[in-house]
Amino acid sequence: QVQLMESGGGLVQAGGSLRLSCVGSGSMSGVNAMAWYRQDPGKQREVVAAITGGGTTTYADSVKGRFFISRDNTKDTVYLQMNSLKPEDTAVYYCSFRTWSRDYWGEGTLVTVSS
């Protein structure tokens, strides 16, 4: 069983930066892609950024150029560097690790961006 723990969320002013981390533990040998999702109350969860085992990245258009995803396989960790934050970035952010059989999810970390 894979267990994920997010950290780094908090309150930040518009234009500021924040770095999220997600550390995996358990049976990690089958993990390939990693991703960050976010969800506002009353809205559907949406993918923000993803990274393959080889380091290829993809981003939602709304965050492209501002957010950057990276991973450290020696630490079983994925990061999300968020720059030039906007109030509309406010959401609960979730990390996800993908295996052949299923996806694993963290419990989420809240990011609040004030005007």
Q: Quick check: 82 and 67 in contact, CB under 8 A? A: yes
C-alpha–C-alpha distance, residues 108 and 85, integer Å: 18
Tokens 């709304």, residue?
62
pLDDT digit string (tens) for the chain, length 115 residues: 899 999 999 999 999 999 999 999 998 888 999 999 999 988 899 999 999 989 999 999 999 999 999 999 889 999 999 999 999 999 999 999 999 899 999 999 999 999 9
